[in-house]
Amino acid sequence: MKKRLFLMLVAATAAFASVCAQSRSAIRLNEVMVENTPEGIADEYGAHRAWIEIFNANFAPIEISSIYITNDSTRPTLYPVPLGDVHTRIPKRQHVLFFADGEPNKGTFHTSFTLTPGQDNWIGIYDADGRTLIDEVVVPASLTAGQSWARQADGYGDWALRTGGEEDYITPSSANVIRDTNEKIQDFAERDANGWGMTVMAMCIVFSALLVLCLCFYAISKIGSLITRANKARTQSSGEHAVTARDVEHDTGEEIAAIVMALHEHLDAHDRENTILTINKVKRAYSPWSSKIYGLREIPARPTHH
């Protein structure tokens, strides 16, 4: 039993580790600013420092504690993301921002290294083993103050320069592509201006769901009826088998006669009586002529006549 429990625990641990590894492979470097400006985003202390945006490209939350962020390929474990911070759990398709200020004592999201303006900056993310490279990027030296180096879309696509203009927003802690409308909804609204298509679709969905529920309930009732019939037939067959076996073993004439006589004696031993008992006193008038003490002891002699 202990060996089986140990094997199950090992299998569960391996599965959990595999899921974690698969989830962390979806961590992506998404946008980087090497030289921040007073017009840019500030940290919780009000300082404007270089920042690195990480994106969760998976459709499930990811815990990024114990991964490593570095700007030196020879030192993959330069900055380990600390354990115990609830904000290191990134929701699905969301972002988190790290400030590369070289002051990790300020909090979890302050790295132990800085980025240098005017030169290429290599940035990498390593898994908890310190050897598996999850993602990397080289930020070119051509970036000036207030510009960022970002992916075309969150988590994928080529990297491009962001200047903060109307066509290339700088988007720390938010989506790289900002959409004011949903193209599919807009297209549907143009094709179905009066809303008849939406109404028909909604009614079809509702009636389909009701039909599925009816079929499920019908199937469940049929299955329950079959199970009840099977149990009833099994009970009857087992009862008949028991009676037959008992009759074969004990069905003798002497036993039947003894049982019949016992029942007869039991049922006819007493008269039927009402539950109410009545005692009536018998009154008899005393008469010496009817008293037994005056009864004749001898036959009287017959007198003779002369």
The DSSP code sequence of 114-149 is: B--TTS-EEEEEE-TTSS-EEEEEEE-TT--TT-EE
In this prediction, residue 20 carries a pLDDT of 46
- Structure tokens given for 18: 């595999």
3-class secondary structure, 188: helix
In this prediction, residue 195 carries a pLDDT of 76
- Distance separating alpha carbons of residues 134 and 54, to the nearest angstrom: 12
| Residue 302 falls in which region: left (phi positive, over 0), alpha (psi -120 to 50) or beta | beta
Buried b (16+ CB within 10 A) or exposed e, 28-59: bbbbbbbbbeeebbebeeeebbbbbbbbbbbe
In this prediction, residue 100 carries a pLDDT of 97
Beta bridge mates, 125: 69, 135
Residue 16: φ, ψ to 5°: -65, -40
Angle between helices 183-191 and 196-250 (to 10 degrees): 100
CA distances, 138 to each of 34, 40, 126, 225 (Å): 11, 21, 15, 69
In this prediction, residue 177 carries a pLDDT of 86
Q: Give the helix/strand (H/E) hosting 159.
A: strand 156-162
In this prediction, residue 19 carries a pLDDT of 46
Amino acid at 255: E
- Distance separating alpha carbons of residues 299 and 57, to the nearest angstrom: 139
Handedness of CA 25, 30, 34, 35 (dihedral sign): negative
Q: Which of 98, 104, 102, 95 is nearest to 116 (CA)?
A: 102
Beta bridge mates, 89: 63
User: How far is Cα of residue 136 from the mean position of the Cα atoms in its chain?
Assistant: 37
pTM, rounded to two decimals:
0.57
Residues of the chain with pLDDT under 50: 1, 17-22
Q: Give the helix/strand (H/E) hosting 70.
A: strand 68-70
Quote helix, strand, coil % in the chain, to nearest 5: 40, 20, 45
